[in-house]
Structure 1
């Protein structure tokens, strides 16, 4: 509460629509009108029904005791039709002034102070509702209430027009509002009254099953009766403008279910939240960050990311260096990326989540960056800094499921709303979570707009969509499931949602990339939606990851018997557009780190790592590596602790990081390694069948025909005088040797390069003899290229 003298009473306020009866002045949001949109919904409702949004003119002039009681208890769905200001009618039926009503329980006296300074005494009607009248038109006013010796003066929320306009309501109802976050949630704004404007916060929420909705928070001592919202239409949009509520205010929505229970919920579209374990939403200030990445955004819009270089460093922001904020992360991460040379960083989910060990994959605040690391503007600062330093930013996005926490989306208005009501469709047994109801256009709208929100408001360059397989199949990890309308197992509604999300994201933000984490053989994940595909730009190649991790774990003595695991990925390498991931999922929960997956002693493990990474960067597809694996961390990752950074001071482990840096430098500067990633013309075999020596050899080519020859020795033997065919006569030089002593290797190789002879081999007219180190990769290219 605040007590102020009469001389300081504000005059910048305006009239409420009063149920659309005789309202004048005031401004609605985009597409709005002067009439309350609730009129059409409740005009025929019976008298004394607290679920009504409006009253007739006669009822507004003389509300019943039941109406007054419902308003007093904050369970009326249209409190503006009773509270606020209304036209007073004369006995002859004409207008004879204005009636003002306010809810002030326990007050000793209540007065409305008009913009002119005129004072209108209000008398107590019943249940804490006060009423008074004056002879003038609608005006701006505040309510002055006396409690003993204390005077409380507050602007009146119930005299304002709706802040959600007719066009917004239409688009929300159709599930087509691509800037949903601009309408729903909490927005600090100047809102027009009759004479002037008032500053405050506009609250809006979708809750179609609720009988009443109230705003509770630090600004009303968590007393929802003070701020009951009005239902605007049959779609269930509730709205209230509360003057003087500023950024930083903490709030929730309080909803009355159809069963008569009050439940408290965080705002589904809140753009800021309390820091977990606290669960309330926070009124976010309008973005104040001034972006400095104009050049990056311009170049991004002109670039096709799918055929551009993309080597990705995946990290969990909370445990990369624990304790760093978004801003501090920029100072530490960028120099590290400069050393390693990746082109992109991929953050595990940054949206708010209550349970840390979920790593962000059980989201409760889809529109709120996690408060653990700072404010939304702090995240903007981090992304801006990354862009200015030349790094793309990908973020994991989780539209497939959400947790059952009572304060969040689950059973939001007392019934299944965001989730499907049938547990065979609406629950994910693997994770104990709810599944979104993809068949509801408004739920799809919530998710599609959320994708656009991160791309638009935070300049994210790409979204990696988590657990796509769980969305595509109705029988995914279920013993009981419901077939689709054709009797099949495909989730047609989820497929339509993914197509809409991808197509809309690419349309609205040229140069971004949508990436699917999809582990099945579903056809057309990266095929355009116009050709019946899902519309993603890239897909994680889980088959490559599984086959190659299984292969590399074999002792080199036995690898010749598993050669098919190494080469199988080339059979389908161009069936989709792929990312080659070694992700967080492969180095946690007992799977061990990449270092521990490797056979042999300490030196051999690191040699195998260097070899494996060279193979990953040389294989068609975009390489992705999880944090800590770039320097061969032996311990398994856990979100509760940071990385073993001290290993970077150990030369053998530093050598692995230097290998990554060398690979990335070659990758960035060599179009043959990425330009034709998704075209079979980008690879030509030299020898893929030398299982006896556990060797693979192939060429990577660019669109101009320039090539890099790659030889991978997965055995633990030095292969001296090993002969391969080459497409061009002359001298070829080593551009990479993972056995280089500077990288921690034994120094075996071809320091002077190799020279071809006109001896046909492997389908080429020229061939050369070279030395291939054990557990190592050698890359060659023509000396004059």
Structure 2
């Protein structure tokens, strides 16, 4: 006697919304979205959190930590399986149902995709997959990110290109994501990964021996593929270097992103909350808000996970803290 299990393919019921003229993005981590001390599920996020996001006036939700990762504290950035959704939060169909519900509410769903590095794990990741350290990655020290403790892709390899390009298409085609926020793009584009660097805008900082040309070409190719196969999809790149042509179309010689993630603005708000109001410099604030390349579209947050969780706290807690980094709040009379 044989038992045959037939799994029916999830059928999406609602069309993907059209791209809005102005994105209002709510950044979310499904596992951390519950008010209870548990790892939340795709189903609970779908039923409890998505309606709240819609009610608050957002038109897009960016979901982090989707790709499978063994180390939960990595926030989803040490990916072990690039094609599998995080199993802690539910099944693949649960994730599809979440995205379908978001589309019903008129919300775009953006994925925080990690193509900048991979988990260092050898038992459940790509590292040493064929017994060598160079199957998908650079061999030797160039293949290791010294700060993130992770492996770095060799974007000059045809197999790496096939793997990552098919991965990007998979999430858009199979799960109906509406676009990506590419993580760690600065780390990809330079062999120094942007670490211990202060970018001044001098072109020698962008087009020199430290530029990983293969990585830049990969970004051009993946953006061109996304635009060709999914014209409505949105591509956002996390870059803090100010790389020229970042948001210029590929056919015009650019890298091809629709938006640059403007990290400096969110950092500036936290910096201001650590100072007395009278120490705020208006010229500095205006410069931070307007410091971008001509006509370049940017995504700016009041706060994102980089400010709220990575060694810091939320703006709400900064405001509620009676003592802000030595600045004692004034008592009401």
Superposed pair shares fold, TM > 0.5: yes
Partner residue of 1:567? Answer: 286
Check if 1:476 corresponds to 2:171: no
**Alpha-carbon distance change, 554 to 385 in structure 1, aligned in 2, over 3 angstroms:** same
Check if 1:508 corresponds to 2:229: yes
* Whole-angstrom distance in 1 between the partners of 2:103 and 2:234: 15
Query: In terms of Rg, which structure is larger?
Result: 1
Check if 1:310 corresponds to 2:23: yes
Partner residue of 2:316? Answer: 595
**Alpha-carbon distance change, 554 to 287 in structure 1, aligned in 2, over 3 angstroms:** farther
Check if 1:367 corresponds to 2:83: yes
Q: Deviations over 1:50-84 (max 9, x none)?
A: xxxxxxxxxxxxxxxxxxxxxxxxxxxxxxxxxxx
* 1:360, distance to aligned residue in structure 2 (A): 0.7
* 1:449, distance to aligned residue in structure 2 (A): 1.0
* Whole-angstrom distance in 2 between the partners of 1:345 and 1:245: 41
* Whole-angstrom distance in 2 between the partners of 1:402 and 1:379: 22
Partner residue of 2:43? Answer: 327
* 1:518, distance to aligned residue in structure 2 (A): 0.7
1:366–1:450 CA contact under 8 A, matched in 2: yes
Structure 1 residues 145-156: aligned runs within 5 Å: none
Structure 1 residues 638-677: aligned runs within 5 Å: none
Partner residue of 1:419? Answer: 137
**Alpha-carbon distance change, 422 to 246 in structure 1, aligned in 2, over 3 angstroms:** farther
Per the alignment, in what secondary structure is the counterpart of residue 463 of structure 1? strand
Structure 1 residues 617-632: aligned runs within 5 Å: none
**Alpha-carbon distance change, 596 to 326 in structure 1, aligned in 2, over 3 angstroms:** closer
Structure possessing the higher relative contact order (Cα contacts under 8 Å, 6 or more residues apart):
2
Residue of structure 2 aligned with 1:352, choices 68, 77, 86 = 68
Structure 1 residues 157-556: aligned runs within 5 Å: 288-294=9-15, 297=16, 299-300=17-18, 303=19, 305=20, 308-321=21-34, 322-407=38-123, 408-415=125-132, 416-424=134-142, 426-476=143-193, 488-556=209-277
Per the alignment, in what secondary structure is the counterpart of residue 447 of structure 1? helix
Partner residue of 2:204? Answer: none
Q: Deviations over 1:542-590 (max 9, x none)?
A: 222233432343212322xx11221103543453210002210101243
* Whole-angstrom distance in 1 between the partners of 2:3 and 2:275: 63
Partner residue of 1:586? Answer: 307
* Whole-angstrom distance in 1 between the partners of 2:8 and 2:153: 29
List gaps (5 residues or longer) in structure 1.
Answer: 5-243, 248-284, 480-485, 605-715, 717-785
Partner residue of 2:202? Answer: none
**Alpha-carbon distance change, 534 to 245 in structure 1, aligned in 2, over 3 angstroms:** farther
Aligned length: 308
* Whole-angstrom distance in 2 between the partners of 1:383 and 1:515: 19
2:267–2:307 CA contact under 8 A, matched in 1: no
Partner residue of 2:203? Answer: none
* 1:349, distance to aligned residue in structure 2 (A): 2.2
Per the alignment, in what secondary structure is the counterpart of residue 88 of structure 2? coil
**Alpha-carbon distance change, 564 to 286 in structure 1, aligned in 2, over 3 angstroms:** farther
* Whole-angstrom distance in 1 between the partners of 2:8 and 2:156: 33
Q: Deviations over 1:752-781 (max 9, x none)?
A: xxxxxxxxxxxxxxxxxxxxxxxxxxxxxx
1:429–1:477 CA contact under 8 A, matched in 2: no
* Whole-angstrom distance in 1 between the partners of 2:289 and 2:90: 44
Give the number of the structure whose residues are more often helix, by fraction.
2
**Alpha-carbon distance change, 389 to 360 in structure 1, aligned in 2, over 3 angstroms:** same
**Alpha-carbon distance change, 597 to 325 in structure 1, aligned in 2, over 3 angstroms:** closer
Structure 1 residues 10-21: aligned runs within 5 Å: none
1:554–1:599 CA contact under 8 A, matched in 2: no
* Whole-angstrom distance in 1 between the partners of 2:175 and 2:94: 10
* Whole-angstrom distance in 2 between the partners of 1:531 and 1:245: 56
* 1:595, distance to aligned residue in structure 2 (A): 2.4
Q: CA RMSD in A?
A: 2.5
Q: Deviations over 1:393-423 (max 9, x none)?
A: 0110000101111122001111120111232
Give the number of the structure whose residues are more often strand, by fraction.
1
Q: Deviations over 1:364-405 (max 9, x none)?
A: 111111111111111111100110111110110000101111
